[in-house]
Amino acid sequence: MKLHRASTLAVAIPTYRRGGLLIKTIKQILSLKQRPDQILVLDQTERHTKETESKLEAMQTEGDIVWQRLSTPSIPQAMNIALIESDCDIVLFLDDDIEITSELVKEHIEGHKNSNAVVVVGKIKQPWHHQDVGGAKYKQNFGFTSDVSKYINSAMAGNMSVNRTKAIEIGGFDENFVRVAYRFEDEFAQRVANEGCQIYYHPAASICHLKFSEGGTRTFGNHLTTIKPDHSVGAYYFFLRAPGVRHRGWNVIKRLINANLTRHHFKKPWWIPVTIISELSGIVWAVRLYLKGPRYINEKRSLC
């Protein structure tokens, strides 16, 4: 359903263990010609430096941001809280380590006005993207660097806006995607599609993802060299839970095998037992989460 009136937009920034980069991201948003109606900072950081703390407090006092401290690091939970706390029509989710390369607020509002989409995803250039991929036909590994607007069937939360009311009615984001929360956007996208709703890719709303090496999901270490299941649990939970997944058992087995068939493991085979333990632990954790049932905002119901 198109938004026919002047739409309000809130920017929501889930953040974890980022200081200076978070401040820079907020300042970029405040410097846009069209500012958002609200900036929600969902801060999961245990303790900032005195300088960062002081700047965030000053921004809150000035009314530039709504700074909410959260005790548990969880990307889906932070995003659900933003959906609940905001009173705007559209909620735009951004990473905390980005460079804004467009009039982001204006373009996301335009994306919703010009499409029938519940979700609008903008262009996201990663550090390794030296040039755009052009208008290649969408596949599952769509890189979000195309210059061509199109309806797609996936999403990426680092530059993604949603119709707030409809996102809540769908159930928001599944908080069972824990730790790195790998593939939580894909599961959300599949529920959007199951409701007959659409996702629109709007490249004019563009950012560069800096992919900073510290903080955020990088806090949970390198998936190639950790025995913990923080990276793997989301992938296995996706295979068990997401509505559009076929051959669930085969996908689980394939992931377990492929996790050890990397260049890193060929060069350093002594890491293979570590990875096997990590992946098996992830499977066990994912099964437990699956048996408990999804953790949505509320009971999902049809709306489109």
Give percent above pLDDT 90 in the chain.
Answer: 82
Using the 8-state DSSP alphabet, how is residue 62 labeled?
Answer: T
Residue 98 identity (one-letter amino acid): I
The pLDDT mean for the chain works out to 91
Distance CA 242, CA 139 (A): 18
Portions of the chain given CATH number 3.90.550.10: 9-209
CB 295 within 8 A of CB 176: yes
Q: Which of 15, 59, 22, 66 has its CA nearest to residue 40?
A: 66
The predicted-structure confidence for 269-303, as pLDDT tens digits, reads as follows 999 999 999 999 999 999 999 999 999 996 444 45
State the virtual CA torsion across 185, 190, 192, 196 in degrees, nearest 10: 160
Q: Are 203 and 121 in contact (CB under 8 A)?
A: no
Closest CA to 227 of 183, 261, 272: 272
- What are the residue ranges in the chain where pLDDT is below 70? 1-5, 128-142, 213, 215-218, 298-304
HSE-up (13 A, CA, CB side) for residue 91: 23
pLDDT of residue 216: 62
Residue 122: Cβ within 10 Å count: 27
Would you give the distance in Å from CA 142 to the centre of its chain?
Answer: 15
CA 63 – CA 295 distance, rounded (Å): 32
Domain 9-209 architecture: Alpha-Beta Complex (3.90)
281, containing H or E segment? helix 272-292
Give the end-to-end CA distance of the chain in Å, rounded to a whole number. 8
Asked if 41 contacts 63 with a C-beta cutoff of 8 angstroms, the reply is no
